[in-house]
Amino acid sequence: MSVLFVELTDGSGGSSRSLLQLLQHLPQTGFTISVALPEHNRLMKEFHKLGVRTHPLPGTAPGPGPAAAAREPRGLRNSGWYRALSARRRFASQVTEPGTQLAEALRSAAPGLVYANNGLVIGARAVAAAGTLRVPVLCHERGLQSVHSPYRRLGRTVRRFVCISHAVRAHVTRAGFGPRSEVVHNGIDLAAFHPGIAPDPELQGTGPLLVSTGRLTRWKGVHVLLDAAARLLPRHPDLRVAIAGTGE
């Protein structure tokens, strides 16, 4: 089967990296693979090294996460009418001209399946373009983005939703797509880890240890972890917190 993976972020987040790791193994299974991604994706050279056919998309790619919404005043962001209006505007901007560019990549690749690596909301361009060309589409759901009405309608065309956790699947189910969803956790490349290395002395202890791994950006919620740890300290004075990652 020919599969076109569509990755629409700038490569700074985990979706591009996990796709790169996935494609290191998929060609061995008999799939014909190609990838459509923004021409300025930071991992473009890494995809080339794999020998994967790429379809560069012009324009500026967004970073992962709801960065634009975070710039709005909090009270405005929390109003239902504003969120619905913003969703409609975002949806329109995703499926017009940029969607046309992606449709051209789809025609060139002629895939039997489109794999929207950023899920329904961030990957609406991919879902809409696949629908236009009547190509089956699968969405890889990685987060808890709000699914407003235009995205719900678009989601009816998706064949399958792959969710990275049970929490994400519950979110997808609330949006009305539960019967077409399943959980497939992110894989781990065991060759990249060395369990024989001695643990950091600062992590030694007998009390509870909270660990956060991932890119350090506000929308990942590390500040929520720190707030929770502060509230737990009176009951667990030997509590330890380890945060691993790079970013903002």
Mean pLDDT of 59-76: 51
Which residue did the predictor score with more confidence, 131 or 191?
Answer: 131
Alpha helices in the chain (DSSP H): 14-23, 44-49, 67-70, 74-77, 80-95, 97-109, 119-122, 124-132, 149-155, 166-172, 222-232
The SS3 of residue 228 is helix
CB proximity list for 31: less than 8 A, separation 6 or greater: 1, 2, 3
CB proximity list for 113: less than 8 A, separation 6 or greater: 1, 2, 3, 4, 135, 136, 137, 138
pLDDT in tens, 194-245: 766 677 777 778 889 898 888 888 878 889 999 999 999 999 999 999 998 8
Mean pLDDT of 163-168: 96
**If you write DSSP's letter for every residue of 165-211 in order, what string do you get?**
SHHHHHHHIIIIIGGGEEE-PPP--GGG--TTSPPPGGG-SSS-EEE
Mean pLDDT of 124-128: 90
Looking at residue 61, the DSSP 8-state letter turns out to be P
Average pLDDT, the chain: 83
pLDDT > 90? residue 179: yes
